[in-house]
A and B are shown apart, each in its own frame.
Chain A
Amino acid sequence: MGKIIEVTGLKKSYGEVRAVRGIDFYVDAGSLFAFLGVNGAGKSTTIDILSTMLAQDEGHVTIGGHALGRDDQKIREIIGIVYQDSLLDALLTVQENLSIRGSFYGLAKEDLRKAVSRAAKIVNITDILGRPYGKLSGGQRRRADIARALINTPKILFLDEPTTGLDPESRESLWQTLREIQKDTGMTVFFTTHYMEEASSANFITMIHRGQIVARGTPAELKDTYSSDFLRIVPKNPEEMAAHLNAANIVFTTEAGVFAIAIGTTTEAIPIIEAQKANIASFEVLMGTLDDVFINITNAQDKGVGK
């Protein structure tokens, strides 16, 4: 799999605020790539730069083999962007919106008509093409936004926090559509999010915090590296449990009578449970989540900055 986006040493400041402080990353062609970070981490600035909207202060970016800043027009032809805000015209119908924005790509009349119906079909909005965009529900709008981004059959689809403000059902159905698009067309999907559950469906996650890349890997790799599974036990006799764990050199913490033991894999819990079987009132084994990864990394970074 080739690299469709390559970013090296990217920097951008707004006056005193250093939004992006020299980041390097790449995106494999055809992957579902998550760019993860809290609000204000530098996600939108990065997307604005990659989408040719904003000029970088420093750094080199290639998108689909074209150098950003030199071949912007060529880049614009092969990308599609779904912005955080709704940017279609509220007073016009979905059909009009798609035709007008589609005309920006220099498509001839017949090709444009086909592109509109193709994009509408992919995101399943054929039945609402005649309705004014402003009268649609949040979920329908998002679908129309995605159809607009797909109008030029882009090689890369950027989505900047695409599910913000959507109800859980619309959110899930949107992700299903996105995964289908990626699978069926082999399109590279680059999305930003601060939702862990969304990032976990990506092939690869790059995490940005305070304008710097702080972690990267597949969701499984990040979980392995930055989070651990936990065994939580409520013992009948806490002293006996503590004595056993200390004797076995097992690190633990207690809180409100609950013993928490970090374990590498869930199966490591078995011998501990076996040994204290008679002393256990209840127990649970928890798998590490991407939320832990996120919290662990951002906390560590914030403490580092605090020092």
Chain B
Amino acid sequence: MLTFTIRNLKIFFRDRAAVLFSLLAIFIAIAIYAFFTRNLMAANNTGFDGISDLADLWAMSGIISIMPVTTTIGAFAIMIHDRHNKIFKDFYTSPISRASLTGGYIASAIVIGFALTTFGLVITAIIIAALGIGLPLISFLMAIGVILLTIFAAAAIMFFVASLINSQRAFSSVATLIGTFVGFLAGVYMPVGMFPETVRTIIAIFPISHAASLLRQIFMNDAISHIFEGAPTHIIEGYRLDMGVIYEIGGTQTNAAVSVAVLAATAVVFFVLSMMNISRKRT
């Protein structure tokens, strides 16, 4: 399984275009924020000092939260490619277990997702530092933990999608769709508060939004309590809800524990679904 995982990694990283496309989503997200959302949010400035710094941290958290999805899609493209081009015939007629093969695809997706998302974290951290916003090291360590958990969830979701699709073209269309919508669904391009009630609920129940929520808590909580010092609680809570630091589902507010649970449950549920799907297909 280790050699097979390394094989997938070599194929992925040797295809420069594939690596670039996996990172494209974050460059687009950064551009959308820098040229559009940032100005929009500055116009809505509520008059608190340093609130634009908070917006930058909000953007950083959101962008990192969707990277596990956009990067693992690229990793599973190798599995689709192997199936589409009948390369799996060579594997299935060798004395390697199918579990090792499946494990190899998932392991390589996790490694690829983690490597590229961490790279994204470094890039955004450099930008944030350049903007003069300092962040403690512990925040980054915690963020890496959240990234890891999110990658398990995203890899499970993408593995499920990949187990449903055989054709390479269909998969790349689905990948483009997911890559585009995940930013909206996780409230990354626009703050959650700008959407109507129904959309807010959809965002709140979308698993990847909880990665965004956790990262926002890590990167923004200190700054929020600092900037809103002495402000009434309802203003602070309102801001946290509007920016998707926390969500409200049916009148109840989410917290870090709920978000962690949602991500963990997503990983387990989609992994089980994929396994069922794969064993059903075997002839």
**A residues bordering B, Cβ < 8 Å?**
48, 51-55, 73, 76-77, 79, 81, 83, 85, 87-89, 91-92, 96, 99-101, 103-106, 148
Q: Given the known inter-chain contacts A55-B283, A91-B10, please indicate yes or no for A104 contacting B85, CB distance below 8 A.
A: no
For A89, give the chain B residue with the smallest CB separation: B11
Beyond the given A91-B11, A100-B3, A104-B96, please list 10 additional residue pairs across the A-B interface where CB-CB is below 8 A: A76-B93, A76-B94, A79-B93, A83-B89, A87-B89, A89-B7, A92-B11, A92-B14, A101-B94, A148-B90
C-alpha spacing A281/B103, complex, angstroms: 76
When A89-B7, A101-B90 are in contact, do A106 and B95 touch as well, CB less than 8 Å?
Answer: yes
CA distance A106 to B103 in the complex (A): 17
Q: How many Å from the CB of A43 to the closest CB on chain B?
A: 15
Decide: A81 and B93 in contact? CB cutoff 8 A: yes
CB-CB under 8 A from A55, the residues of chain B are 283
Please report the C-alpha to C-alpha distance between residue A53 and residue B93 in the assembled complex, in whole angstroms: 6
**B269 at the binding interface (Cβ < 8 Å):** no
Question: How many of chain B's residues have a CB under 8 angstroms from any CB in A?
Answer: 20
Partner of A53 from the list B10, B85, B92 (CB cut-off 8 Å) is: B92
Name A87's closest neighbour in chain B (CB-CB): B90
The reply on B87 being an interface residue by CB < 8 A is yes
Alpha-carbon distance A148/B91, docked complex (angstroms): 12
Question: Counting CB contacts under 8 A, is B4 at the interface?
Answer: yes
Bound complex: CA A73 to CA B96 (Å): 8
Residues of B within 8 A of A91 (CB): 10-11, 14-15
Q: In the complex, which of the residues B6, B7, B10, B90 contacts A83, with contact meaning CB atoms closer than 8 Å? A: B90
Contact status of A77 and B4, CB under 8 A, knowing A53-B89, A91-B10, A101-B90: no
Among B11, B91, B94, B283: residue with most chain A CB under 10 A? B94
Among B15-44, those with CB < 8 Å from A are: 15
Dominant SS among interface residues on chain B? helix
Question: B87 to chain A: which residues have CB within 8 Å?
Answer: 87, 89
A96 pairs with B10, CB closer than 8 A: yes
8 A-B residue contacts at CB 8 Å?
A48-B89, A76-B94, A76-B95, A87-B85, A87-B90, A89-B7, A91-B14, A92-B11
Contact between A104 and B11, CB atoms less than 8 A apart:
no
Residue B281 at the chain A interface, CB threshold 8 Å: no
Q: Give Cα distance in the complex from A128 to B123, angstroms.
A: 40
A54 touches B283 (CB 8 A): yes
Question: How would residues 79 to 116 of chain B score, 1 for a CB under 8 Å from any chain A CB and 0 otherwise?
Answer: 00000011101111111100000000000000000000
Q: Within the assembled complex, what's the spacing in Å between the Cα atoms of A104 and B100?
A: 10
Measured CA separation A106–B11 after assembly (Å)? 22
> Bound state CA distance, A22 and B15, in angstroms?
46
Q: Which residues of chain B (180-199) have a CB below 8 Å from chain A?
A: none
State in angstroms the CA–CA spacing of A106 and B93 once bound together: 14
Find the residue from A73, A77, A79, A100 having the highest chain B CB count within 10 A. Answer: A100
CB pair B86 A83 closer than 8 Å: yes
**List of B residues within 8 angstroms of A48 by Cβ:** 89
Q: B80 CB to closest chain A CB, in angstroms?
A: 14
Contact partners of B96 in chain A: CB under 8 A:
104
Separation of A92 and B92 alpha carbons in the complex (Å): 20
Q: Which residues of A contact B10 (CB under 8 A)?
A: 91-92, 96
* Known interface pairs A83-B86, A101-B94; A92-B283 also in contact (CB < 8 Å): no
A residues within 8 A CB of B91? 104
Question: Is the Cβ of B92 less than 8 Å from the Cβ of A52?
Answer: yes
CB closest residue in chain A, given B92: A53
CB distance from A151 to the nearest CB of B (A): 9
Cα–Cα, bound, A55→B283 (Å)? 7
| Chain B nearest CB, measured from A19 CB (Å) | 14
Nearest 8 interchain pairs by C-beta: A104-B94, A103-B3, A104-B96, A76-B95, A87-B90, A91-B14, A51-B93, A100-B7
Instruction: Indicate which residue in B7, B11, B95 contacts A105 across the interface (CB closer than 8 Å).
Output: B95
Specify the chain A residue showing the minimal Cβ separation from B100: A104
Contact B95 A73 (CB under 8 A): yes
- Of chain A, the residue at the smallest CB distance from B6 is A100
A64 to chain B, nearest CB (A): 13
Q: How far is the CA of A101 from the CA of B87 in the complex (A)?
A: 11
- Chain A residues with Cβ under 8 A from B15's Cβ? 91
B85 contact set on A, CB distance < 8 A = 85, 87
**CB atoms of A105 and B94 under 8 A apart:** yes
**Among B4, B15, B95, residue most surrounded by chain A Cβ atoms (within 10 Å):** B95
Residues of B close to A52: CB separation below 8 A = 92-93
